[in-house]
């Protein structure tokens, strides 16, 4: 049976993880490669690495890092942050990334989705959408959720799928950082609307939040960052809980 | 032991190479006929589209090289599909090592296509260790090979399909062992341990 995926997300700046990570058995909490390996050992199903540095010089550091991750980590991983062209993506895939996520650049230039899926295949292209509810409408935001656009979540998600995105990563800016649970209603609606996998993001605070994202939100995967980084919830605890709750989950007996 | 990873326009060659490094295996990525023929084991990776990939293999004359190999050959994902006779993906005649046809998943119950993520293996036999039954491996594919006489592991999505196959010296997996954590490493090791 196809299982629901649990995905830790790591923010990277200048080749290092940004937020401190509170892990036992880690020599260097800032080293993304070591962290990625640790998460893979704990049973993470996939990883996401977001490059939040802005300069071209830092991009080169990031490509080098992607190669290091690919050589050490034996589960699939997505890289994103600052990707705006086919030329940006080629070195990342060459370095061993399994997927790339695009966000603001796709809103600005939707044709980028077509170009990337045509050049590398749909399965490489994750469309990330940050949205916030304004006047009862889910409005797409860019630049880390700070800039509202004229796009609506559901029509943009559908357009993204039609243009060739292979997966959708939906972050509710209203829920992100609150630890009050994922945005269940829009998740369920996205799942109904799309036939590509949907990753839930933003709001994870407890095990039950994941259960609701999967059962009520019908999400195919759920992503979280700080919750895992600070050891508030381990991947193993979460997976044990979800299994006991009847969710199809890849069990890792490590 | 020397492993040759067949070099062509596939997406996951680098990942397969990294997996060989993690297993501390000597490998080369090559499209040279001699180098491929001399290797002890061959890996035929694959992520991409069937028709353009077959065109490329024919252009490089790698199609004839592959079908005439005598040592163990492992096809991965698209590599497995190209080992079949025909693919519904752009109606492409393939290598014909397995006589099956590759079919497109038609959802029965709103299943999403592609089949993406971790799914379990059942009825593993032959070259796949029995301990792998019920283990999870990572899949990304929209086309599948039906269960047939050469199937050595079954996975269910929409319906049961071939997760792995074997015929003579040709081995094939639909999933990505190079991305399947410990289970994937066990599978790659058991292929690499097959006597040449």
Please spell the DSSP secondary structure of B1-40, one letter per residue: -EEEEEPSS-S-HHHHHHHHHHTT-EEEEE--HHHHHH-S
* B122: phi then psi, degrees, rounded to nearest 5: -130, 160
- Which of A222, A120, A208 has its CA nearest to residue A169? A222
Domains in chain B, please, with CATH?
2-192 (3.40.50.880)
Tell whether A233 is covered by a domain: yes
Segments forming the whole domain that contains residue A11: 5-244
Closest Cβ opposite residue B112 in set A98, A197, A250? A197
> 3-class secondary structure for B93-148?
ECCCCCCCEEEECCCCCCCCCCEEEEEECECCCCCCCHHHCCCEEEEEECEECECC
Looking at chain B from residue 153 to 182, which residues have their Cβ under 8 Å from any Cβ of chain A?
Answer: 156-157, 176, 178-182
Q: What is the pLDDT of residue A18?
A: 80
A122 and B CB contact within 8 Å: yes
Q: With pLDDT > 70 as the criterion, what percentage of chain B qualifies?
A: 99
Q: What is the pLDDT of residue A118?
A: 86
A252 and B CB contact within 8 Å: yes
Best mutation target, B45, B179, B187, B188, to test chain A (most A CBs within 10 A): B179
CB contact under 8 A, B176 and A71: no
Q: Kindly report the CATH number assigned to the domain that includes residue A70.
A: 3.20.20.70
- Which of A76, A66, A65 has its CA nearest to residue A98? A76
CB contact under 8 A, B181 and A74: yes
Q: What is the pLDDT of residue A144?
A: 79
**What is the β-pairing status of strands A167-172 and A125-134?**
parallel
Please give the DSSP secondary-structure letter assigned to residue B176.
Answer: -
Identify whether A11 is a catalytic site residue. yes
CA–CA separation, B83 vs B97, rounded Å?
Answer: 5
CA–CA separation, A46 vs B108, rounded Å?
Answer: 27
A220 and B CB contact within 8 Å: yes
Tell whether A249 is covered by a domain: no
Domain count of the fold of chain A: 1
Tell whether A197 is covered by a domain: yes
Tell whether A65 is covered by a domain: yes
Coil, strand, or helix at residue A22? coil
Mean pLDDT of each 10-residue bin along chain A, 254 residues long: 96 80 62 92 95 75 93 96 89 91 95 92 93 95 89 98 97 91 97 96 96 98 90 92 97 68
Task: Identify whether the C-beta of residue B92 lies closer than 8 Å to the C-beta of residue B51.
Answer: yes
């Amino acid at each position: 049976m196809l299982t629901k995926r649990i995905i830790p997300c790591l923010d990277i700046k200048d080749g290092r993880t940004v937020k401190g990570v509170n892990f036992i058995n880690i020599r260097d909490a800032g080293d993304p490669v070591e962290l990625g390996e640790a998460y893979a050992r704990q049973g993470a199903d996939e990883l996401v690495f977001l490059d939040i540095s802005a300069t071209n010089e830092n991009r080169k550091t990031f490509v080098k890092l992607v190669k290091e991750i690919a050589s050490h980590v034996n589960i699939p991983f997505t890289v994103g942050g600052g990707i705006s062209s086919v030329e940006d993506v080629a070195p990342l895939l060459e370095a061993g990334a399994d997927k790339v996520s695009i966000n603001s650049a796709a809103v600005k230039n939707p044709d980028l989705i077509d170009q990337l899926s045509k050049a590398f295949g749909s399965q490489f292209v994750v469309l990330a959408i940050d949205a916030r509810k304004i006047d009862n409408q889910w409005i797409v935001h860019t630049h880390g959720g700070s800039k509202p656009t004229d796009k609506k979540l559901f029509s943009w998600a559908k357009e993204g799928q039609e243009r060739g995105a292979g997966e959708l990563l939906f972050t509710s800016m209203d829920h992100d950082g609150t630890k009050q649970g994922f945005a269940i209603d829009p998740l369920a609606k996205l799942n109904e609307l799309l036939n590509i996998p949907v990753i839930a993001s933003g709001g994870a605070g407890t095990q039950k939040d994941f259960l609701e994202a999967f059962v009520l939100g019908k999400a195919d995967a759920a992503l979280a960052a700080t919750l895992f980084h600070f050891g508030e919830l381990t991947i193993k605890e979460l997976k044990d809980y979800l299994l006991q709750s009847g969710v199809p989950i890849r069990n890792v007996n490590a | 032991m020397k492993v040759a990873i067949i070099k062509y326009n596939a997406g996951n060659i680098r990942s397969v190479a990294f997996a060989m490094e993690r297993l501390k295996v000597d490998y080369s990525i090559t499209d040279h006929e001699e180098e491929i023929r001399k290797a002890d084991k061959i890996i035929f990776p694959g992520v991409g589209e069937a028709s353009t990939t077959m065109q490329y293999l024919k252009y490089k004359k790698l199609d004839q090289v592959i079908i005439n190999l005598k040592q163990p050959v492992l096809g991965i994902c698209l590599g497995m599909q190209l080992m079949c006779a025909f693919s519904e993906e752009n109606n492409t005649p393939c290598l014909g090592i397995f006589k099956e046809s590759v079919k497109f998943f038609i959802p029965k119950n709103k299943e999403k296509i592609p089949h993406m993520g971790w799914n379990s293996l059942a009825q593993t036999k032959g070259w796949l260790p029995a301990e792998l039954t019920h283990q999870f491996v990572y899949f990304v594919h929209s086309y599948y090979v039906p269960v047939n006489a050469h199937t050595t592991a079954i996975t269910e999505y929409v319906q049961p399909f071939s997760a792995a196959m074997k015929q003579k010296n040709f081995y094939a997996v639909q999933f990505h062992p190079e991305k399947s954590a410990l289970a994937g490493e066990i599978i790659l090791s058991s292929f690499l341990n097959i006597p040449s």
